[in-house]
Amino acid sequence: MFDNLSDKLDKALHVLKGHGSITEVNVAETLKEVRRALIDADVNFKIAKDFTNRVKEKALGQNVLTTLQPGQLMVKIVKDELTELMGGDASGVNLSGNPSVILMSGLQGSGKTTFSGKLANFLKTKKTKKPLLVACDVYRPAAIDQLHVVGDAIKVDVFSDRGNQDPVAIAEAGIAFAKANGHNVVIVDTAGRLAVDTEMMDEIANIHKAIQPQETLFVVDSMTGQDAVNTAKAFNDILNFDGVILTKLDGDTRGGAAISIKSVVDKPIKFIGTGEKMEAIDVFYPSRMADRILGMGDVVSLVERAQEQFDEEEARKLQKKIAKNQFGFDDFLKQIQQVKKMGNMKDLMGMIPGAGKMLKGVDIDDDAFKHIEAIIHSMTPAERTNPSVINSSRKKRIGKGSGTSVQQVNQLLKQFNQMSKMMKMMQGGGGRKMMQAMSRMQK
């Protein structure tokens, strides 16, 4: 996500490192590179110029604190301005109605139908709502089928009327169905087009007028860059939508749409799509995104994802097992499953400060755990519970069964033993002992 922009901004801000003070000369040199990086990321030239002018004004207007170096101060100013440019604060979704009606709009191929499912799943699991998906795309082949497949996957009801070609009537009937069946949120998936045209705009404007939604969201493919911003403006002029959803941020995204869209349409980015899975949806936090663009990671989001997978009762059971030295491969497998539920590995690594730069060019496979899982699944229940019984003949059998080598099995057993010892040391006052042991190792 934004790898190229992050690299170029890092190089631009590196200019100030080593300077004892901020001057017009070194600020001008730095901001020239910052502006170039933003334009390369497909940010509108005027927005990039206004941004660097504001940064220059603030940088030259501040005295550098004794605890800060000029480079650090410039990073802080750029981060604050990026945050403001992308919206400042996070914006929630309006769920005031009964039912709350959310109208989805956007071009064809932007990921509107898939994101409708993600949003329904988000509202169901995080906001304890009972959503209903309404299929109003009567033009695209299999659009209704796609929404039903998505609904089945997340166990959310879908309303459709295959014999009806009037999207307005389908939307109204869907809301009536929701009221009759206790659904408190209705998400209306509308038809997209290959380009902005009068017929499409009239149709969605009629749906909007008929159902009076509490929230109108514009879904945009972030990989289309500046074109996405222009499309958003055209839609906003007709619909006056409430917020933007950026999809495909896990792809080869230059970042121009995320940075520019708020200043062009003056509407907040509310959600982002970060993968293909139904759970790959995040509330958009401008300050956290600014941190990630500047290579500072996003520890808060990482902790939040971990907390979502955290089960207090399971944690207590695990603690007892570790204390009794009963931590086995079944428990290890559960931990792996929890990590996988947090999202794709590359996205998670990008949230760790500095990790993005360290792992530049490294291809992190989403199936990074598959060999470990295969080895564990090839063990007998007794071997998983008590790994100490695994001798050389058992290792050969496990290696054959998992399609791996004896060396890989040995490596996993060694890492598992080291991790078990470390977890045991962390129990009670063991953290202090571990620090003392590490201190001795360094001497």
pLDDT tens, 115-150? 999 999 999 988 889 999 999 988 887 889 999 999
Model confidence at 429: pLDDT above 80: no
- 190 marked ligand binding residue: yes
Residue 363 marked ligand-binding: no
- The H or E element containing residue 270 is strand 269-273
9 among annotated binding-site residues:
no
108 in a known ligand binding site? yes
361 is in an annotated binding site: no
CA distance 201 to 105: 10
- Mean pLDDT, residues 199-204: 82
CATH 1.10.260.30, the chain: domain bounds? 303-442
Total Cβ atoms within 10 A of residue 62? 13
User: Is 192 part of any known ligand binding site?
Assistant: yes
Query: Which residues belong to CATH 3.40.50.300 in the chain?
Result: 100-296
CATH number of 303-442: 1.10.260.30
244 touches 265 (CB < 8 A): yes
Determine whether the annotation assigns residue 255 to a binding site.
no
Q: Higher pLDDT residue, 214 or 195?
A: 214
The answer to whether the annotation marks 117 as part of a ligand binding site is no
Phi, psi of 368, deg, nearest 5: -60, -25
**Residue 111 among known ligand-binding residues:** yes
**What would you measure as the largest C-alpha separation in the chain, in angstroms?**
78
pLDDT at 299 over 80: no
- CATH 1.20.120.140, the chain: domain bounds: 3-86
249 labelled binding-site residue: yes
Q: Going by CATH, does the domain composed of 100-296 fall within 1.10.3720.10?
A: no
Residue 187 CB-density burial (10 A; 0-12 exposed, 13-18 middle, 19+ buried): buried
| Model pLDDT, residue 379 | 92
Class of domain 3-86: mainly alpha
SS3 377: helix
Residue 250 annotated as lining a ligand binding site: yes
pTM: 0.66
Which residues have a Cβ under 8 Å from the Cβ of 315 and sit 6 or more positions away?
A: none
pLDDT at 280: 82
Is 31 one of the annotated binding-site residues?
Answer: no
Contact assessment for residue 35 and residue 52, using Cβ atoms and an 8 Å cutoff: yes
Number of other residues whose CB lies within 10 A of the CB of residue 206: 14
- For residue 7, say whether it is annotated as part of any ligand binding site: no
Taking the C-alpha atoms of residue 115 and residue 189, their distance in angstroms, rounded to an integer, is 9
Which of 150-159, 232-241, 296-305: highest mean pLDDT?
150-159
Q: Is 107 annotated as ligand-binding?
A: yes
